[in-house]
Amino acid sequence: GTYAITASATDSLGNSSPVSAALSLTIDTTSPTVDIIDVTPDPRSGGVPAIAIQFNEAIGNFTLGNLSLTRNGQGVALTNATLTSPDNVTWTLGNLVDSTNQVGSYSLLLRGSASTLITDRAGNLLLSNATEAWQVTSSAPTAATGTATPAIDFRGGRAGIRLRGTSRPEVLRGTNDRDVLEAFGNNDRLLGRGGVDRLLGGVNNDNLRGENGNDRLEGGDGNDRLDGGNNRDLLLGGNGNDALRGGSGDDILVGGAGQDRLTGGRGVDMFTFNTVTEGTDQITDFTSEDLIDLRGIFAQPAFAGTSPLSRFNQFVQLVQVGSNTEIRIDADGSGSGTTFNTLASLTNLSVGAIGAANFVIA
């Protein structure tokens, strides 16, 4: 329980000091608990990229040796698996695809007992087990990295108008032709209408809407809002904490510098990151069909390797944090550092729902 401790002192003449402020003392004798998050989909085709393991409090002494994996009752080695955690509460058992790709009935067991020595901060032992079972009905091809979506075609249509704003807040409207709309020095609103348009934000907080046609939207400086609308669009947030929404179509979203909020919308969308220091973006609707484009980062010599898949396994971490999955990249590639920077958090997505096939490396 929790106790409140106070103190006072009395001298030889009987003078008493004021009672001290209460000191709260909690005595924890309760064992921690654990749950292995459900594997989805189940049944499934192909291996599981990663599995999330959730404790009710921070624990220590948890290693791969506390886990056992079986297929059809026979042990499967976790030789290449990884075990990571951002807070010692939520853990990610990763790099599992090759170990779980064969057809069969799988079971993962985390054994809790006095001999496992998994404890909370008060030293209470984990005494309960946790298990998760799933079925693999067909093997998938050996894991491979993803392929980028085709480049967006910005050609076609008649040349339209070119509008440039002033220092006042304005609304710039395009036509159904190929227009160029450019904000200037205030909080402007740009509406592309139809056609293949290019919309350029300025130095303040602008609102850009492509609407119809294959559009290119560039936020520039400030905290901008970009909405591609229909068709295929390229959205470039630029500097600032921007909100990008692709809309309909297979869009490409580049948050740029800052803490950006990215929503792909319908279609197969690709989210592009060019440096490991852009800031942590939030991707609100990532699906198994969408892509993370890391070619700008992996073009650097520090991220070289024998194959795209080996480079993905070496330099990328997928970590379950609550209900989200974080994408982390080795900050200096093959350098001596061990820091991984968080590029993005995928909202309400289990770590088991994303893998190498969602990443464009080369």
Confidence of residue 14 (pLDDT cuts 50, 70, 90): confident
Segment 117-123 shows an average pLDDT of: 91
Q: Is the pLDDT of residue 142 over 70?
A: no
Q: Is residue 229 part of a domain?
A: yes
Please check whether residues 201 and 234 belong to one and the same domain. Answer: yes
Q: Is residue 167 part of a domain?
A: yes
For residue 346, give the amino acid letter: L
Higher pLDDT, 216 or 352: 216
Question: What's the token pair of residue 242?
Answer: 């921007």
Please check whether residues 168 and 308 belong to one and the same domain. Answer: yes
Please check whether residues 71 and 129 belong to one and the same domain. Answer: yes
Give the pLDDT of residue 106.
98
Please check whether residues 343 and 217 belong to one and the same domain. Answer: yes
For residue 117, give the amino acid letter: L
Q: Is residue 26 part of a domain?
A: no
Please check whether residues 98 and 165 belong to one and the same domain. Answer: no
Please check whether residues 132 and 167 belong to one and the same domain. Answer: no
CA–CA distance, 289 with 268 (Å, rounded to integer): 6
Residue (of 225, 223, 220) closest to 210 by Cα position: 225
Please check whether residues 94 and 201 belong to one and the same domain. Answer: no
Residue (of 246, 220, 224) closest to 235 by Cα position: 246
Give the pLDDT of residue 228.
96
Is 83 within 8 Å of 91 (Cβ atoms)? yes
Residue (of 246, 244, 299, 305) closest to 276 by Cα position: 299
Please identify which residue in the block is written with the tokens 């002494």. 61
Q: Is residue 38 part of a domain?
A: yes
Cα angle 46, 49, 55; round to 5: 130
Q: Is residue 2 part of a domain?
A: no
**Average pLDDT value over all residues in the chain:** 92
Q: Which of 138, 168, 187 is the last residue of a domain?
A: 138
For residue 214, give the amino acid letter: N
- Provide the percentage of residues in the chain whose pLDDT is more than 90: 74
Please check whether residues 121 and 71 belong to one and the same domain. Answer: yes
Please check whether residues 239 and 294 belong to one and the same domain. Answer: yes
Q: Is the pLDDT of residue 1 over 70?
A: no
Please check whether residues 119 and 184 belong to one and the same domain. Answer: no
Q: Is the pLDDT of residue 259 over 70?
A: yes
How deeply is 274 buried, as exposed, middle or buried, from its count of CB atoms within 10 A (0-12, 13-18, 19+)? Answer: middle
Confidence of residue 269 (pLDDT cuts 50, 70, 90): very high
Q: Is the pLDDT of residue 177 over 90?
A: yes
Segment 103-107 shows an average pLDDT of: 96
Give the pLDDT of residue 307.
87
Q: Is residue 29 part of a domain?
A: no
Segment 315-329 shows an average pLDDT of: 93
Name beta bridge partners: 161. Answer: none
Q: Is residue 209 part of a domain?
A: yes
Q: Domain tally for the chain?
A: 2
Q: Is residue 277 part of a domain?
A: yes
Range of the domain at 284: 159-360
Residue (of 216, 221, 253) closest to 239 by Cα position: 221
Please check whether residues 256 and 298 belong to one and the same domain. Answer: yes
* Model pLDDT for residues 192-247, shown as the tens digit of each residue: 999 999 999 988 999 999 999 999 999 999 999 999 999 999 999 999 999 999 99
Give the pLDDT of residue 161.
95
Confidence of residue 24 (pLDDT cuts 50, 70, 90): confident
Residue 79's CATH number? 2.60.40.1220
Give the pLDDT of residue 143.
58
* Model pLDDT for residues 61-97, shown as the tens digit of each residue: 999 999 999 999 999 999 889 999 989 999 999 989 8
Question: What's the token pair of residue 347?
Answer: 């909202």
Confidence of residue 32 (pLDDT cuts 50, 70, 90): very high
Residue 238's CATH number? 2.150.10.10
